[in-house]
Amino acid sequence: MIFPIHEAAAFGAAICWAMTALISSLPAGHLGALAFNRLRQAAVTVLLAVFVLASGRWQGLSLHEAGLLLASGLFGIFVGDTLLFNALNRVGPRRSSILFALNAPMTAVLGWVLLGETLLLQAAAGIALTCAGVMLAILFGKRPGQTHKLEEVKGSLLVGVMFGLGAALGQAMGSIIARPVMASGVDPFIASMVRVGIAACCLSVLMALPFEAVKPRNPPTWKIAGLTILSGVLAMGIGMTLLLFALSGGKTGIVATISATSPVLILPMLWLRTGERPAAGAWAGAALAVAGMALIFLNR
């Protein structure tokens, strides 16, 4: 049996993103979504560029490959991440995670429509179980009486939901656009550098506009800057690179589904962080998600 290395990489990305959701809550609220995202993306771009040059990984990209990666970064990171952290600021890490996890079925549908990908019945059942488990884990993830600030809804719930759905669609489109490039053998670190770099440039241009809405809420402190950079390294330097590697050899729908299990993984992390045990329904959802992932892995 061949070890499912691409699916394992997608699971590694999910772990990184679950950790990122908790780390990002404080600095994203302090700086605002745009300023937070720009700082983390600029820092990760510099770190990836240094790593690519120092390791000798640099290889030329064709205009076609570069164009697709730039478009992927615009949709998946500039649009997707910015909307995601707006959702995080409004509905907290648990709810924003489930909304973002809907990129899995969105990606599967887009992969079927645009890339002509097919899925065996067992893999399709695995995707369905995983998505159902993720939904159940979040919908029943809060018990009555939980009062931790990470569970608060700030402002309009509907607006937060719309931000989350927009983030999921941006991530799905970014994955679909990047899939052919990654399948051609482009180095994942180079691809990450290009995608994150264009997003950082776009955010810098946006924040230079003379509108109060695009300005930082508060100036960064050393602690806030450190947490922001750490979240960027985890989410984009490691997590996104793992996802791009997974896309180089795995089917888009399967990769997206496994990487979307971060809302399940975040439950024990939230328990440790808040001291408040998630509801029984959340663990039932986690069990469904694990069963779905098992079907996907055994599909190999």
Under 8 Å between Cβ of 232 and 43: yes
Give the pLDDT of residue 297: 65
> Does the CA dihedral 87-291-254-259 come out positive or negative?
positive
Strands (E), 146-231: none
**Residue 7: C-alpha distances to residues 76, 214, 246, 280 (Å):** 20, 38, 6, 28
> Does the CA dihedral 81-45-222-203 come out positive or negative?
negative
Listed as ranges, residues in the chain with pLDDT below 50 are none
Give the pLDDT of residue 283: 80
With a CB cutoff of 8 Å and minimum separation 6, the contacts of 127 are 104, 105, 108, 119, 253, 254, 257, 292, 296
Give the pLDDT of residue 73: 92
User: How many domains does the structure of the chain reveal?
Assistant: 1
Give the pLDDT of residue 146: 60
What is the three-state SS of 262-288? HHHHHHHHHHHHHCCCCCHHHHHHHHH
Give the pLDDT of residue 140: 74
> Where is 216: in which H helix or E strand?
none
Q: Is 219 helix (H, G, I), strand (E, B) or coil?
A: coil
Per-residue DSSP letters for 197-211?
HHHHHHHHHHHTSS-
Give the pLDDT of residue 224: 92
Per-residue DSSP letters for 80-143?
HHHHHHHHHHHHHHHHHHHHHHTHHHHHHHHHHHHS-----HHHHHHHHHHHHHHHHHHHT---
Give the pLDDT of residue 149: 65
Give the pLDDT of residue 125: 84
Distance, in Å, from the CA atom of 298 to the CA atom of 245, rounded to the nearest integer, reads: 20
Residue 262's domain spans which residues? 5-298
